[in-house]
Structure 1
Amino acid sequence: MSQDLPGRMLRLLSLLQTRRTWTGEELAERLDVTLHTIRRDIDRLRDLGYPVEGTTGTAGGYRLAAGADLPPLLLDDEEAVAIAVALRTATRGVAGIEETAVRALAKLEQVLPVRLRHQVAAFQVAAPLPVPWSTGPTADPSTLALLAAACRDHETVTFTYRRGNGETGRCRVEPHALVAADPLWYLVAYEIERVEWRLFRVDRLTDPAPTGHRVTPRALPAPDAAAYVAGRLAAALARYTFHATVPADAATVRARTYSLPGRVRPVDETTSTLDLAADNPQHIAEQLLGIDLGPEDTIHGTPELAPYLEQLGSRLLRAARALSQQDENRGDDGFDTNGAGNQ
């Protein structure tokens, strides 16, 4: 067993880096050794400077924690290439990270195997370092790191958020994902107090703090986080918006209005909220044709949309009156009493 010690230690370290917590039994099974051997190998890693913590609970376990110094990391080929590429392309929108990224890239490239160095070099020729032309708001790297960890661990966080109008307030959220929409970073999260999904600009977010409370991930009202961000940004930029409570379940409202999942949110089994946005007011008017609307006090939106809805309503009303008049002009036998049917 001793002759396989270096390889086993590397496999153990790799496992600890891929998941937050492992039980001793799980590690022993993965490495095909005894629990006693796992304990000795954990002690060896600690002697080498890796901060492996023991966890409490019914089964107990181990996790790789943060230490005073950064120990060596194990990367497979794909991870190494991905990090090298990301260091050259993903620095925009993050405050003061360009020079740091270049230093990290130089260290990584120095130890890359030749076969991987060729791949990174080919990418560098095709896509040199981006020119930092953007002067817009930037996100703090430590804030991004904290939020990324919270998204990974499904841990609620609190922070102070500044809205577009300058107002600030404390928020408590369940983070879902971070999305970069050049040049800004956005946090997709479920705000607990407001009981709704929200989009937060990371550059407006200060004093983030993890709570230690983990939750079961909620289903995002969109195919993925990127689609959710794209939809919310499109709505924010749209000229016309419409919001209403609808007396129908969410699936029915989506089908009848041809809306994206993020536009319809269930209130209960028989009620939903509908949010529409478009640059063309006719599109919103047409989407409303297939549903009934709830109380008037739940209807909000762009006031300039009203004339288009009235126009569409008048057209439908004229058509209905014409059909009613046509029905009155028919005789009992179904023929038109004004002429052709009586000839």
Structure 2
Amino acid sequence: MNCVAPQTIAELVDAAGAAWPDELACVDGDRRVTFRELRDEVVRAAAALAASGLQKDEALALWGPNGLEWLTVSLGASYIGARVVPLNTRYRADEAADILCRSRARMLFTVNRFLGYDYLNALRSSTIELPHLREAVLLRGEGEGATSFGAFLGRAGSLPRTTVAGDDVSHIQYTSGTTGRAKGALLCHRAMVGTTRDWAANVELARGDRYLIVSPFFHISGHKTGVLACLTAGATMYPQPVFDPIVVMQRVQDERITVLPGPPTIYQTLLEHPRRADFDLSSLKLAVTGAASIPAVLIGRMFGELGFDR
């Protein structure tokens, strides 16, 4: 990557596209895109956001599972200086509406249904008014009263010139709200890319690593130490919408996954699963865990039985 460190997320995407143009950036279902192709899709999404009337320092919200469309919109916002507001996929309608209202989100990108919950219909039933919200776009599929993702991208023209600096806000990251009303933290471009660069170096994430992103994109561990870390190091992203141990072990085997971060319960679930021996997990190299106490015996089993070496 260029010796001049990126100061914004858009610069990071550009640098990754230039450094590793033909290497795999993301594998999502049947879609396999290179870093150059990802950069092109992100720029197209940025142009579509601008054509939709979104301005610098205005907010868009993302309420949906891990997937290529989610990260394309999120990264695209950085090119026009818009602020990304990730919404927890387990929010109910009033919880999401409260944050949409307080963040003054102009656009909402979501899905028809996830985890058995109909997001848009539930949101319409909320009593919280959303005077700033202009449009809902479905990341996948179609639905009444919402714009399809294809129609949204169809608006893209040339990308307008927008000055975005490292000190500009890139995300409004809301706290969990477990001890009170969720609070929005303003995260800046330079801090996001700089701390991600340090994190990737510390854990030795490397070009060619294959990173299964189980942490949800709405969480900082999903879109920062997941997506941004892969762009920083040249690793391939494998978005995982939900943690299902059989699906995860199958993907590890089929795609030769090398990086699998997550909370301790993920590793405990894999270790205790009755079908673990049916899968070849020998490609696993790097684990990063936290958010709960980690028994020493679990760490030992992760090295000894799951094959992690760091």
Superposed pair shares fold, TM > 0.5: no
Larger Rg: 1
Q: Which has the higher contact order (CA 8 A, sep 6+)?
A: 2
More strand by share: 1
Question: Normalising by the residue count of structure 2, what TM-score does the alignment of the two structures yield?
Answer: 0.28
Question: Normalising by the residue count of structure 1, what TM-score does the alignment of the two structures yield?
Answer: 0.26
